[in-house]
Amino acid sequence: MYSRVLLVGMRCEFSRIVLEALLTAHIPVVGMIIPPHRSYTAAFLQLNSNANLLPLWPADVVNVAHAAQVPVWEVNRLRAPETLAWFEALQPEVLACACFPRRLPQEWLARLKVGGLNLHPALLPAYRGPAPLFWQFRNGEVKTGVTLHVLEERLDTGPIVAQAAVPLTDGVSEAEAERLMAYSGAQLLIQALKQAEWPRRPQPTVGVSYAPHPTDEDLVIPTQWPARRAFNFARGAEERGPLMIDMGVQRLVVKRALSFAEDVTLNADPQTSHNVIQVRFNPGRVSFQRA
């Protein structure tokens, strides 16, 4: 087992779940790096146990780290000379990345004694990029999972160490899917950190796709989709903002998908009852809460 593991993440459920799993497995986490949540000029800043300026709950990743005596740093300028000197002084053997929103510089990777590992919530090489879960929901994927891969300077391209299938049930939210990915991915990471050498296989050159940050237009749901796909996308994307149904001549703003049926035929016009509207898809129908 490696003796100096540095975790890189952010204030989110994915990072918290991975950190808790590492601590439970007695992986020696020497520190955690997160992005800053406020603007300042310093290259990096160590947080102390009473320095949280956000309204946090006990399970926040920073509180979890401090409860385990794991120091936490906010890093503002990744390539600043003082940041690189501080990073080198930490002497990390392995850098484990779990939901960090910035590309890690080669200067960091070159200073690792062993190397870096990243957890990505998709079955690479599909859905490289910052929003893999969103695009898996949008494309109606039924086969999905999490990948542990070696960190390289190019985003999400490093050799695959391990993968695990993560089935997503109908109606799962993006937050729920992220938690499932984190639990499965954490176990892959723990297994790798207990190995003297990591198995590595190059990512396939076929099946490569990219998952960029979605735009407002990407939240539009066409009625040509099957009802199941429309329902699952609406549930998966609802936390990102108002959803719109493309009715052809107009767009209908909805708040939440409530249910779907694949074997029900409706008239082309939406049917409204109280605060619920039913929309015909191809095939089937989806019931939505009106915005």
Same domain, 173 and 239: no
Same domain, 35 and 86: yes
pTM for the whole thing?
Answer: 0.92
Long-range Cβ contacts of 69-73 (<8 Å, 24+ apart): 70/19, 70/23, 70/29, 70/30, 70/31, 70/32, 71/30, 71/31, 71/32, 71/46, 72/31, 72/32, 72/33, 72/34, 72/46, 72/47, 73/31, 73/32, 73/33, 73/34, 73/44, 73/45, 73/46, 73/47
What CATH number does the domain containing 102 carry? 3.40.50.170
Residue 201 domain-assigned (yes or no): no
Residue 207 domain-assigned (yes or no): no
Give the β-pairing of 285-290 and 251-261.
antiparallel
168/177 Cα distance (integer angstroms): 7
Same domain, 154 and 92: yes
- Mean pLDDT of all residues in 11-30: 97
Same domain, 19 and 127: yes
150 three-class SS: strand
What percent of the chain is predicted at pLDDT more than 70? 95
Q: How confident is the model at residue 188 (pLDDT cuts 50, 70, 90)?
A: very high
- The per-residue pLDDT for 49 is 66
Same domain, 186 and 238: no
Residue 198 domain-assigned (yes or no): no
Q: How confident is the model at residue 80 (pLDDT cuts 50, 70, 90)?
A: very high
Domain that holds residue 244: 216-290
Give the count of beta carbons closer than 10 Å to the beta carbon of residue 248: 9
Same domain, 85 and 48: yes
| Amino acid, res. 254 | V
145/185 Cα distance (integer angstroms): 9
- The per-residue pLDDT for 199 is 96
Which residues, 6+ apart, have CB-to-CB distance to 21 below 8 Å?
183, 186, 187, 189, 190
Same domain, 176 and 221: no
- The per-residue pLDDT for 93 is 96
- Mean pLDDT of all residues in 158-181: 96
Same domain, 144 and 236: no
- The per-residue pLDDT for 268 is 65
Residue 240 domain-assigned (yes or no): yes
77/167 Cα distance (integer angstroms): 38
> How many domains are there within the chain?
2
Higher-confidence position of 271 and 73:
73
- The per-residue pLDDT for 1 is 74
Residue 78 domain-assigned (yes or no): yes
Same domain, 19 and 71: yes
What is the Cα 29 distance to its own chain's centre?
21
Residue 209 domain-assigned (yes or no): no
- The per-residue pLDDT for 205 is 97
Same domain, 100 and 134: yes
Helix (H) or strand (E) holding 75: strand 72-75
- The per-residue pLDDT for 45 is 84
What the block records as the tokens of 72 is 């936490």
119/121 Cα distance (integer angstroms): 7
**Stated length of the chain:** 291
pLDDT tens per residue, range 21-65: 999 999 999 999 999 987 778 888 888 765 554 555 546 899 999
